[in-house]
Amino acid sequence: MAATDIAGRLAEYSFQLELEDIDAETIDAAKVRLLDSIASGVGAVSFADDTTDTVVSFCAERAGDATVPIIGTGRQAPLEY
């Protein structure tokens, strides 16, 4: 099946990608960005304000059968949130 939209093309590319296809520099850059994202999330819930509380509540209210923890909150949300 040929993907005609950008999301489909990216999904097809990602599905076929093997770890050996990715150079070390790209892997290191991905690790940095992943860790930075986690640290930013932990920082956000550690120093919560009204905006953070609103976002966490919004995400948690959409929790269904398949959920994951919202780090640092004790609440659950769908993975895509």
Report the predicted TM-score, pTM, of the whole model to 2 decimal places. Answer: 0.57
Arithmetic mean of pLDDT over the chain: 88
Q: What is the pLDDT of residues 13-34, one digit of tens each?
A: 999 999 999 999 999 999 999 9
What confidence score (pLDDT) does residue 41 get?
A: 83
The burial class, CB within 10 Å (0-12 / 13-18 / 19+), for 77 is: buried
